[in-house]
Structure 1
Amino acid sequence: MRTPGLPGDSRYDDPALGLGIPEPERTPQVESWTRAAGPDGAGGDGYGGMIARLRGFLDHVAAARLDPGTVAALSDDLGAWCERLADAAVAEHEQVFGHRDDMPGRGQTMAPALRVHEANRFSVRGTVRFGRYFLGGNGAVHGGAVPLLFDEVLGRLSGSGGRTRARTAYLHTDYRSITPIGAELDVHGWFVSEEGRKRVLRAEIRHGGILCAEAEGLFIVLNPGQP
């Protein structure tokens, strides 16, 4: 079996590699992994659709070789939107980006959105696709994006089920094989142990039967008043 994204695979030279990935739909969730949401998975306010377009935009920018005129026009448009959004800036505790637990990926684009299929206080299973924006080279996900996903998954699981919030103390990642762009990947995270303020969790990413990467993280429960 050929690994997608490597020489010999029919998609190796595909200029659309990792493009057109749909926004993960809302699926039934358990515990506090997500809250109940509206039909679009975003409380019915359209925010999820906007984030989906933003993810798609970043994928297409990453894939494009732009002529000078397009670069200038896009730069002007982005500048105008920066000025418009500046008037809507709020304090961190009022921020929406990355705070939408009713949406896959919490309504952010820093990491790819995990579609959760099974979850409880001690384990989570789901699927994820890395878009072209996360390309490192030769069809492989950038090495820095893999631990970013692991931290997102394990950090959320560490604080699920009504637990006190914790922060990452360390995150060790082992790369076992290529993590392909554009492919549906299986993600599994689980608790290993919990003692005092220390929570140890592990996670893995698989493409079919191939282990792409695995990680172990230590999370420390915050003391009262700690940010």
Structure 2
Amino acid sequence: MSDTPHGGFPRFTPAHPPADFGRLVEALRTIQDLAVSTDLPEEQLAAAADQAEKLAAAMAPYVVPEGASPAGRSLELPGRGSLLLMPWTIEKYGPDGVQSTGVFRRYHLGGNAAAHGGTLPLLFDDLFGLIQHGYGRPRSRTAFLHIDYRAVTPLDQQLRVSGHVTKVEGRKTFIEAVLTDLDGKVLAECNSLMVSLLPGQP
């Protein structure tokens, strides 16, 4: 059984993959963007599908357990090398808060050149995990996450998200964060409750 600070989570260590891993992740992100923004003729569509299937087949023999892949553990890469996470770059990390910058890409489109509203909770939730970790709190799960959408969140424009711990009560960590453009215009505000895990709790 794991110790209390990690509940039932295994301990994951940072990964330092070769540069080609970063190239692969960025290429796959671009493919995601193109997959939702192109209308390929039938011949090119078949060729693209063939290439995608060949790549999947080439990678499949190397599947490893959770925590062994560099995805999500590559701290130097945008989004820590995870295709799930927003490809943002951490600029500040510590007990007084976390700040990162990045863009919502075409893949994140909700409509009318704006980011899908459901992508913002993902951005904030990942940020809150980093914030509580930087604050020195034990491994936690999100109990609630409340977002106030203040303005349309644009695609392909550098934005900034920052947040910090506001209060700690036993196993509870309360966090607030804000998403702005680089001129300081508030696009969304969020607050959350993170609850630390009990020993062995998943």
TM-score by length of 2: 0.86
d(CA) in 2 for partners of 1:82, 1:48 = 17
- The counterpart of 2:185, out of the listed 191, 210, 218, is 210
1:189 equivalent in structure 2: 163
Gaps of 5+ in 2: 1-12
Contact 1:174 1:215 in 2 (8 A): yes
Asked if residue 179 in structure 1 is aligned to residue 179 in structure 2, the reply is no
Q: Secondary structure at the match of 1:92?
A: coil
How many residues are paired up?
189
Asked if the contact 1:111–1:145 (Cα under 8 Å) also holds between the matched residues in 2, the reply is no
Whichever residue aligns with residue 62 of structure 1, its letter is V
How much identity, in percent, do the aligned residues show? Answer: 35
Partner Cα distance (1:131, 1:93) in 2: 27
User: Is 2:37 the counterpart of 1:63?
Assistant: yes
2:194 corresponds to 1:219: yes
The one-character-per-residue Cα deviations of 1:57-112 (angstroms, maximum 9, x if unpaired) are 21122221111112211112111222222211111132322222333311112232
Tell me which residue corresponds to 1:102.
76
Deviation at 1:114? 2.0
Residues 1:149 and 2:123 are matched in the alignment: yes
Point out the more displaced range, 173-182 or 101-110: 101-110
1:50 aligns with 2:24: yes
Instruction: After superposition, give the CA deviation of every residue in 1:104-139 in whole Å (9 maximum; x if it has no partner).
Output: 311112232222222211311221111110011111
4+ residue runs of structure 1 moved beyond 3 angstroms?
42-45
Which secondary structure does the structure 2 equivalent of 1:112 belong to? coil
> What residue number does 2:3 align with?
none
RMSD: 1.9
Q: Larger % of helix: which? A: 2
Match of 1:159 in 2: 133
Provide the C-alpha distance between the structure 2 equivalents of 1:135 and 1:111, rounded to a whole number of angstroms. 15
Residue 37 of structure 2 aligns to which amino acid in structure 1?
A
Q: Give the secondary structure class of the aligned counterpart of 1:159.
A: helix
Unaligned 5+ segments in structure 1 are 1-33
Higher RCO (CA < 8 A, seq sep 6+): 2
Does the residue aligned with 2:83 lie in a helix, a strand or coil?
coil
